[in-house]
Amino acid sequence: MEQLLHYVWKHKLFPLKPLRTTDGMEVEVIDPGLWNTNAGPDFFNAKIKIGGVLWVGNIEIHLKASDWKLHHHDTNSDYDNVILHIASDIDYEPCRPNGEKIPQMELHYPTYLVDSYNELIRTAHYPACYRLIPSLSKLLMHSWLNTLQIERFEEKTERIMRLMEKYNNNWEDVFFITLARNFGFGTNSEAFELWAQTIPLRAVDKHRDSLFQIEAIFFGQAGLLDATYDEYTDKLLKEYTYLKHKFGFTTSDNCRWKLLRMRPGNFPHVRIAQLAKLYHTSQGLLSRILEAETIEQLRPMLETDTSEYWITHYTFGEVSTPVKKSLSTSSINLLIINTVIPFLYAYGKHRGINRLTARASEMLETLKPENNFITRMWKECGVEAAHAGDSQALIQLKKNYCDPKKCLYCRIGFEYLKRGSC
């Protein structure tokens, strides 16, 4: 419940009586400071008056005052600039490393706030704030969704930049890994990313003019050529064995492909075949994507199908009714939303090209919203996504706020607590 005490301080939900330190000095809160969710004091750069004297510095909050010593703040120089220690249970006098006592104040949360918070945290209904949502203003929801959209951009950018560090700042390699991950379309995303990280792209590039050789490398590295099913797989296996020996490929045992309860068109065999064809036909894809100014220019770049073998197969060795297995429009849209647009944003931010970050937002808002269980859930609650920017925001809301029960950090949660139980 310490976070709830943070919330009380941040929003100045204080009792009507004057605030005082434990030694009787009046406290006036001018600015509660910036809420810090990382290591260090709980609030930075607060402005308060203690006994009429203005103090500017940090605030630390605990349920029990003795937590100051328990958490070793008394020996940590990061807490030297704490100007006020707040606790609900005063059982200790905090001091700085030099022995100087720190002003301390007792603070409690209102009963109505505890009741509302417990209702949010403990309810079995999802989302917990469903009763309040229909009464929220369109302006509030629009503002919150815009913020969440930016948060999601930043989160995906961080992911891309972590990969950039791992792959020597090679944008092409990182783009391929990100694209491959999203060819997993959720169910096999992790497996596709692990697989992509084993693909020796410099070696593949030497054979880029041969779709057969690309398939041999791709399927071999995926661990899907572990047996001979027919003449085609026999040829693939022989070619892969030769290329593996030639280039010294290393494989991973971590790829766990999922096929259970999956539509055949989404089998990893089909998706790898489609990605192989795309890689074969789209040299310089990232450069062309960065130059594209509209969704209409992007879609043809991602259109792909498979080699002839896969017209009559969904897996190796099992003949099926002939069907050309092209990427659907909805699949291409998902690749644009989850790969292309985040790359535009990340590349633009990294290189300081503002028109690319702006283009990323504009493109996202020209696409139809995603139709998945998350967007459908929010629609049932009265929040309907107008475009893909909104649907990405709603995904961010569920994953980063609803699932971990971070209602205190959510604007909807704030309104819920502010109004009390509905």
Long-range contacts of 151-155 (CB under 8 A, 24+ apart): 151/396, 151/400, 152/392, 152/393, 152/395, 152/396, 153/342, 153/345, 153/357, 153/360, 153/361, 155/396, 155/400
**230 contacts: CB under 8 Å, gap ≥ 6:** 316, 317
Q: What is the pLDDT of residues 391-422, one digit of tens each?
A: 999 999 999 999 998 988 999 988 888 775 44
CB 96 within 8 A of CB 117: no
Residue count (the chain): 422
pLDDT at 420 (0 to 100): 58
Q: Which segments in the chain show pLDDT lower than 50?
A: 421-422
Give percent helix, percent strand, percent coil of the chain, each to the nearest 5: 55, 10, 35
pLDDT at 422 (0 to 100): 41
Q: What are phi and psi of 89, to 5 degrees?
A: -115, 110
> How many CB atoms neighbour CB 83 within 10 A?
18
pLDDT at 421 (0 to 100): 42
Q: How far apart are CA 208 and CA 98, in angstroms?
A: 67
pLDDT at 236 (0 to 100): 95
Give first-to-last CA distance, the chain, whole Å: 21
SS3 call for 86: strand
Beta bridge partners of 104: 85
pLDDT at 272 (0 to 100): 97
pTM of the model: 0.85
Beta strands at 104-106 and 82-89: parallel, antiparallel or unpaired: parallel
> How many CB atoms neighbour CB 99 within 10 A?
7
In one-letter notation, the amino acid at residue 81 is N
> How many CB atoms neighbour CB 53 within 10 A?
8
* 285 HSE (CA, 13 A, CB side): 25
Q: How far apart are CA 346 and CA 340, in angstroms?
A: 10
Each domain of the chain, given as residue ranges in start order, spans 2-108, 110-197+252-422
pLDDT at 85 (0 to 100): 97
**100 contacts: CB under 8 Å, gap ≥ 6:** none
